[in-house]
Chains A and B, each alone.
Chain A
Amino acid sequence: MEIKVLKNILSANDQRAQENQDLFRRHRIVALNVTASPGAGKTSLIMATIKALRDEFRIGVIEGDVSSTIDAKTVDKVGIPVVQINTNGACHLDATMIANAFQNLPIDELDLLIVENVGNLICPASFALGEHRNILVASVPEGHDKPHKYPLMFSKSDAVVLNKIDLIPYVDFDRDQFIEAVNGLRDDARIFEVSCKTRVGLTEWSEWIAAEIQKERAA
Protein backbone atom coordinates (compact mmCIF):
# COMPACT_ATOMS: atom_id res chain seq x y z
CA MET A 1 0.00 0.00 0.00
CA GLU A 2 1.25 3.48 -0.82
CA ILE A 3 0.76 6.27 1.71
CA LYS A 4 1.00 9.82 0.38
CA VAL A 5 2.57 11.98 3.08
CA LEU A 6 3.89 15.24 1.57
CA LYS A 7 5.17 16.55 4.90
CA ASN A 8 8.26 18.58 5.59
CA ILE A 9 10.86 16.33 7.19
CA LEU A 10 11.63 19.06 9.72
CA SER A 11 7.96 19.71 10.50
CA ALA A 12 8.43 18.57 14.10
CA ASN A 13 11.08 21.25 14.54
CA ASP A 14 8.92 23.83 12.75
CA GLN A 15 6.06 23.00 15.12
CA ARG A 16 8.29 23.41 18.17
CA ALA A 17 9.65 26.66 16.77
CA GLN A 18 6.11 27.95 16.41
CA GLU A 19 5.44 27.07 20.06
CA ASN A 20 8.58 28.98 21.06
CA GLN A 21 7.47 31.99 19.06
CA ASP A 22 3.99 31.88 20.60
CA LEU A 23 5.58 31.81 24.05
CA PHE A 24 7.85 34.75 23.20
CA ARG A 25 4.89 36.70 21.80
CA ARG A 26 2.79 36.10 24.93
CA HIS A 27 5.62 37.52 27.00
CA ARG A 28 6.32 40.30 24.49
CA ILE A 29 9.88 39.18 23.95
CA VAL A 30 11.64 39.84 20.67
CA ALA A 31 13.93 36.92 19.77
CA LEU A 32 16.90 37.26 17.45
CA ASN A 33 18.64 34.30 15.82
CA VAL A 34 22.21 35.43 15.20
CA THR A 35 24.09 33.35 12.64
CA ALA A 36 27.54 33.72 11.10
CA SER A 37 30.61 31.80 10.15
CA PRO A 38 33.10 31.28 13.01
CA GLY A 39 34.98 34.45 13.88
CA ALA A 40 32.75 36.94 12.07
CA GLY A 41 32.00 38.69 15.35
CA LYS A 42 28.70 37.33 16.66
CA THR A 43 29.73 37.58 20.29
CA SER A 44 31.30 41.01 19.77
CA LEU A 45 28.08 42.26 18.18
CA ILE A 46 26.01 40.79 21.00
CA MET A 47 28.23 42.47 23.59
CA ALA A 48 27.95 45.79 21.75
CA THR A 49 24.17 45.39 21.56
CA ILE A 50 23.98 44.69 25.29
CA LYS A 51 26.05 47.79 26.01
CA ALA A 52 23.86 49.98 23.82
CA LEU A 53 20.47 48.71 24.96
CA ARG A 54 20.78 47.39 28.51
CA ASP A 55 19.60 50.60 30.16
CA GLU A 56 16.48 50.66 28.05
CA PHE A 57 15.57 46.97 27.74
CA ARG A 58 15.91 43.73 29.69
CA ILE A 59 18.11 41.36 27.71
CA GLY A 60 18.75 37.61 27.91
CA VAL A 61 21.16 35.53 25.87
CA ILE A 62 21.33 31.90 24.75
CA GLU A 63 24.80 30.90 23.58
CA GLY A 64 25.12 27.96 21.21
CA ASP A 65 28.47 26.31 20.66
CA VAL A 66 29.68 22.86 19.74
CA SER A 67 31.65 22.94 23.00
CA SER A 68 33.06 25.34 25.62
CA THR A 69 31.48 28.06 27.77
CA ILE A 70 33.76 30.89 26.66
CA ASP A 71 30.99 32.99 25.13
CA ALA A 72 28.55 32.47 28.00
CA LYS A 73 31.24 33.57 30.47
CA THR A 74 31.79 36.74 28.45
CA VAL A 75 28.09 37.60 28.66
CA ASP A 76 27.78 36.54 32.30
CA LYS A 77 30.65 38.83 33.26
CA VAL A 78 28.56 41.90 32.40
CA GLY A 79 25.63 40.66 34.50
CA ILE A 80 23.25 39.62 31.73
CA PRO A 81 21.27 36.36 32.19
CA VAL A 82 22.77 33.75 29.87
CA VAL A 83 22.39 30.03 29.17
CA GLN A 84 25.02 28.03 27.33
CA ILE A 85 23.95 25.22 25.01
CA ASN A 86 26.69 22.79 24.02
CA THR A 87 25.52 20.84 21.00
CA ASN A 88 28.23 18.17 21.47
CA GLY A 89 29.12 18.08 17.83
CA ALA A 90 25.84 19.11 16.23
CA CYS A 91 26.31 21.88 13.71
CA HIS A 92 23.20 23.93 14.54
CA LEU A 93 20.71 24.78 17.28
CA ASP A 94 17.16 23.49 17.00
CA ALA A 95 13.85 24.60 18.47
CA THR A 96 13.84 21.97 21.24
CA MET A 97 17.26 23.11 22.49
CA ILE A 98 15.92 26.68 22.64
CA ALA A 99 12.76 25.61 24.49
CA ASN A 100 14.85 23.78 27.11
CA ALA A 101 17.44 26.53 27.48
CA PHE A 102 14.79 29.23 27.71
CA GLN A 103 13.37 27.63 30.86
CA ASN A 104 16.54 28.75 32.61
CA LEU A 105 16.01 32.42 31.78
CA PRO A 106 13.75 34.83 33.70
CA ILE A 107 10.86 34.73 31.22
CA ASP A 108 8.83 37.55 32.80
CA GLU A 109 11.81 39.85 32.99
CA LEU A 110 12.92 40.00 29.37
CA ASP A 111 12.28 42.28 26.40
CA LEU A 112 14.95 40.92 24.11
CA LEU A 113 16.30 37.39 23.70
CA ILE A 114 19.46 37.07 21.66
CA VAL A 115 20.34 33.55 20.48
CA GLU A 116 23.87 33.07 19.23
CA ASN A 117 23.73 30.11 16.86
CA VAL A 118 26.64 27.77 16.14
CA GLY A 119 29.18 29.41 13.80
CA ASN A 120 28.10 27.93 10.48
CA LEU A 121 26.24 29.36 7.49
CA ILE A 122 24.81 26.07 6.18
CA CYS A 123 22.97 23.99 8.74
CA PRO A 124 21.30 26.72 10.85
CA ALA A 125 19.45 27.83 7.68
CA SER A 126 17.24 24.74 7.87
CA PHE A 127 16.25 24.90 11.55
CA ALA A 128 13.77 27.50 12.75
CA LEU A 129 14.07 28.38 16.45
CA GLY A 130 11.03 30.58 16.94
CA GLU A 131 12.89 33.80 16.25
CA HIS A 132 11.25 37.04 15.14
CA ARG A 133 14.27 38.13 13.18
CA ASN A 134 17.22 36.34 11.59
CA ILE A 135 20.44 38.30 11.80
CA LEU A 136 23.47 37.30 9.78
CA VAL A 137 26.86 38.66 10.79
CA ALA A 138 29.31 38.74 7.90
CA SER A 139 32.78 40.19 8.16
CA VAL A 140 35.06 41.92 5.69
CA PRO A 141 37.97 39.41 5.81
CA GLU A 142 35.61 36.61 4.71
CA GLY A 143 35.26 38.22 1.29
CA HIS A 144 32.42 39.78 -0.66
CA ASP A 145 31.45 36.53 -2.39
CA LYS A 146 29.83 34.93 0.67
CA PRO A 147 26.18 35.78 -0.16
CA HIS A 148 26.39 33.70 -3.31
CA LYS A 149 28.18 30.87 -1.53
CA TYR A 150 25.59 30.64 1.26
CA PRO A 151 22.46 31.84 -0.54
CA LEU A 152 19.98 30.00 1.67
CA MET A 153 21.19 31.64 4.87
CA PHE A 154 21.43 35.09 3.27
CA SER A 155 17.97 34.80 1.69
CA LYS A 156 16.54 33.97 5.15
CA SER A 157 18.17 36.89 6.95
CA ASP A 158 16.14 39.98 7.78
CA ALA A 159 19.28 41.93 8.55
CA VAL A 160 22.89 41.50 7.54
CA VAL A 161 25.50 43.09 9.76
CA LEU A 162 28.76 43.59 7.90
CA ASN A 163 31.36 43.69 10.68
CA LYS A 164 35.03 44.74 10.66
CA ILE A 165 34.52 47.47 8.06
CA ASP A 166 37.59 49.18 9.53
CA LEU A 167 39.60 46.47 7.71
CA ILE A 168 38.37 47.43 4.22
CA PRO A 169 41.56 49.37 3.33
CA TYR A 170 43.67 46.28 4.03
CA VAL A 171 41.79 43.51 2.22
CA ASP A 172 40.32 42.90 -1.22
CA PHE A 173 36.72 43.36 -0.26
CA ASP A 174 34.35 44.93 -2.79
CA ARG A 175 31.67 46.55 -0.68
CA ASP A 176 29.36 47.37 -3.61
CA GLN A 177 29.45 43.80 -4.90
CA PHE A 178 28.63 42.50 -1.42
CA ILE A 179 25.65 44.81 -1.01
CA GLU A 180 24.40 44.08 -4.53
CA ALA A 181 24.60 40.33 -3.82
CA VAL A 182 22.80 40.62 -0.45
CA ASN A 183 19.97 42.69 -1.90
CA GLY A 184 19.84 40.47 -4.95
CA LEU A 185 18.99 37.50 -2.74
CA ARG A 186 16.63 39.49 -0.58
CA ASP A 187 15.62 43.00 -1.53
CA ASP A 188 14.16 43.95 1.85
CA ALA A 189 17.19 42.87 3.93
CA ARG A 190 18.54 45.64 6.14
CA ILE A 191 22.29 46.02 5.87
CA PHE A 192 24.35 47.54 8.67
CA GLU A 193 28.01 48.31 8.15
CA VAL A 194 29.74 48.26 11.50
CA SER A 195 32.98 47.72 13.32
CA CYS A 196 32.59 46.29 16.79
CA LYS A 197 36.21 47.35 17.38
CA THR A 198 35.99 51.04 16.41
CA ARG A 199 32.22 51.12 17.26
CA VAL A 200 31.34 52.76 13.94
CA GLY A 201 27.81 51.99 12.73
CA LEU A 202 26.64 50.46 16.01
CA THR A 203 24.21 53.26 16.86
CA GLU A 204 22.19 52.69 13.70
CA TRP A 205 22.15 48.94 14.42
CA SER A 206 20.99 49.26 18.01
CA GLU A 207 18.36 51.83 17.06
CA TRP A 208 16.94 49.33 14.60
CA ILE A 209 16.76 46.65 17.31
CA ALA A 210 15.13 49.12 19.70
CA ALA A 211 12.55 49.93 17.01
CA GLU A 212 11.86 46.20 16.53
CA ILE A 213 11.19 45.82 20.27
CA GLN A 214 8.88 48.85 20.26
CA LYS A 215 7.02 47.39 17.27
CA GLU A 216 6.47 44.12 19.14
CA ARG A 217 5.18 46.01 22.18
CA ALA A 218 2.74 47.97 20.06
CA ALA A 219 1.48 44.83 18.26
Chain B
Amino acid sequence: MHELAVTEDMLNLVLAEAGKHGAQTVNCVKLVIGEMTGIVSDCVRFYFEQISKDTIAEGATLSFDFVPAAGRCRDCRERFQIADFVWACPNCHSLNIDIVAGRELYLESLEVT
Protein backbone atom coordinates (compact mmCIF):
# COMPACT_ATOMS: atom_id res chain seq x y z
CA MET B 1 0.00 0.00 0.00
CA HIS B 2 2.85 2.35 0.76
CA GLU B 3 5.04 1.41 -2.21
CA LEU B 4 5.43 4.98 -3.48
CA ALA B 5 7.00 6.15 -0.20
CA VAL B 6 9.20 3.07 -0.06
CA THR B 7 10.27 3.48 -3.70
CA GLU B 8 11.13 7.16 -3.18
CA ASP B 9 13.33 6.32 -0.20
CA MET B 10 14.86 3.42 -2.12
CA LEU B 11 15.72 5.64 -5.11
CA ASN B 12 17.30 8.24 -2.81
CA LEU B 13 19.41 5.53 -1.20
CA VAL B 14 20.40 4.10 -4.61
CA LEU B 15 21.46 7.53 -5.90
CA ALA B 16 23.39 8.33 -2.73
CA GLU B 17 25.28 5.03 -2.73
CA ALA B 18 25.97 5.15 -6.49
CA GLY B 19 27.14 8.76 -6.13
CA LYS B 20 29.58 7.79 -3.36
CA HIS B 21 31.26 5.40 -5.78
CA GLY B 22 31.27 7.84 -8.69
CA ALA B 23 28.96 5.67 -10.79
CA GLN B 24 27.78 6.91 -14.18
CA THR B 25 24.90 4.47 -14.53
CA VAL B 26 23.01 2.13 -12.22
CA ASN B 27 22.33 -1.10 -14.12
CA CYS B 28 20.78 -3.30 -11.47
CA VAL B 29 19.30 -2.81 -7.99
CA LYS B 30 18.99 -5.84 -5.71
CA LEU B 31 16.34 -5.59 -3.02
CA VAL B 32 15.43 -7.90 -0.17
CA ILE B 33 11.75 -7.77 0.79
CA GLY B 34 10.16 -9.65 3.66
CA GLU B 35 6.74 -11.14 3.08
CA MET B 36 5.27 -9.39 6.13
CA THR B 37 6.03 -5.91 4.81
CA GLY B 38 3.26 -6.39 2.25
CA ILE B 39 5.35 -4.65 -0.42
CA VAL B 40 4.19 -5.53 -3.93
CA SER B 41 7.10 -5.74 -6.37
CA ASP B 42 5.07 -4.76 -9.46
CA CYS B 43 4.08 -1.51 -7.74
CA VAL B 44 7.69 -0.78 -6.82
CA ARG B 45 8.75 -1.42 -10.45
CA PHE B 46 6.01 0.86 -11.74
CA TYR B 47 6.88 3.73 -9.39
CA PHE B 48 10.61 3.26 -9.90
CA GLU B 49 10.22 3.60 -13.66
CA GLN B 50 8.34 6.87 -13.15
CA ILE B 51 10.50 8.54 -10.52
CA SER B 52 13.93 7.41 -11.74
CA LYS B 53 13.51 9.25 -15.07
CA ASP B 54 16.40 11.63 -15.75
CA THR B 55 18.53 10.13 -13.00
CA ILE B 56 21.51 7.78 -13.38
CA ALA B 57 19.19 4.97 -12.24
CA GLU B 58 16.80 5.37 -15.16
CA GLY B 59 16.34 2.03 -16.88
CA ALA B 60 17.94 0.02 -14.05
CA THR B 61 16.65 -3.52 -13.54
CA LEU B 62 15.14 -4.22 -10.15
CA SER B 63 15.64 -7.68 -8.73
CA PHE B 64 13.73 -8.85 -5.69
CA ASP B 65 14.74 -11.45 -3.17
CA PHE B 66 11.64 -12.36 -1.18
CA VAL B 67 11.94 -13.61 2.39
CA PRO B 68 9.03 -15.71 3.62
CA ALA B 69 7.54 -14.99 7.05
CA ALA B 70 8.93 -17.24 9.76
CA GLY B 71 8.26 -17.62 13.44
CA ARG B 72 9.94 -19.23 16.41
CA CYS B 73 7.86 -20.84 19.13
CA ARG B 74 8.68 -19.42 22.58
CA ASP B 75 7.57 -22.65 24.21
CA CYS B 76 9.32 -25.41 22.23
CA ARG B 77 11.77 -23.26 20.19
CA GLU B 78 10.58 -24.73 16.88
CA ARG B 79 11.35 -22.44 13.90
CA PHE B 80 8.81 -22.63 11.11
CA GLN B 81 7.38 -20.81 8.11
CA ILE B 82 4.15 -18.95 8.62
CA ALA B 83 1.76 -19.74 5.81
CA ASP B 84 -1.73 -18.34 5.29
CA PHE B 85 -1.62 -16.36 8.51
CA VAL B 86 -1.74 -19.50 10.63
CA TRP B 87 -0.09 -18.36 13.82
CA ALA B 88 0.37 -21.60 15.69
CA CYS B 89 3.44 -23.71 16.25
CA PRO B 90 3.21 -26.81 14.04
CA ASN B 91 5.06 -28.79 16.69
CA CYS B 92 3.31 -27.94 19.98
CA HIS B 93 0.37 -25.75 18.76
CA SER B 94 1.37 -22.86 21.02
CA LEU B 95 0.42 -19.32 19.92
CA ASN B 96 3.47 -17.80 21.61
CA ILE B 97 5.46 -16.96 18.53
CA ASP B 98 8.22 -14.47 17.84
CA ILE B 99 8.47 -13.20 14.27
CA VAL B 100 12.01 -14.05 13.17
CA ALA B 101 11.85 -13.39 9.42
CA GLY B 102 9.64 -11.52 7.00
CA ARG B 103 10.18 -7.89 8.12
CA GLU B 104 13.16 -7.33 5.79
CA LEU B 105 13.15 -4.25 3.63
CA TYR B 106 16.63 -3.43 2.47
CA LEU B 107 18.86 -2.58 -0.44
CA GLU B 108 21.33 -5.40 -0.80
CA SER B 109 23.56 -4.27 -3.64
CA LEU B 110 23.88 -2.25 -6.82
CA GLU B 111 25.46 -3.09 -10.15
CA VAL B 112 26.88 0.11 -11.60
CA THR B 113 29.23 1.31 -14.31
Give the B-binding residues of A (Cβ under 8 A).
Answer: 1-13, 90-92, 94, 120, 122-123, 126-127, 147-149, 151-152, 155, 180-181, 183-185, 187
Contact = CB atoms under 8 A, between A and B. Distances in A.
A151 B99 contact: yes
Contacts of A122: 1-2, 38
Given A10-B6, A90-B5, A187-B74, A5 B99 contact: no
Nearest to A11: B13
B60 interface: no
14 contacts: A1-B112, A2-B111, A4-B108, A5-B106, A6-B108, A7-B106, A12-B13, A120-B1, A123-B2, A127-B2, A127-B5, A183-B96, A184-B87, A184-B95
Interface residues of B, number: 35
Interface of B: 1-2, 4-6, 9-10, 12-13, 17-18, 21, 23, 31, 36-38, 74, 85, 87, 94-97, 99, 103, 105-113
Contacts of B6: 9-10, 126
Contacts of B31: 9
B96 A2 contact: no
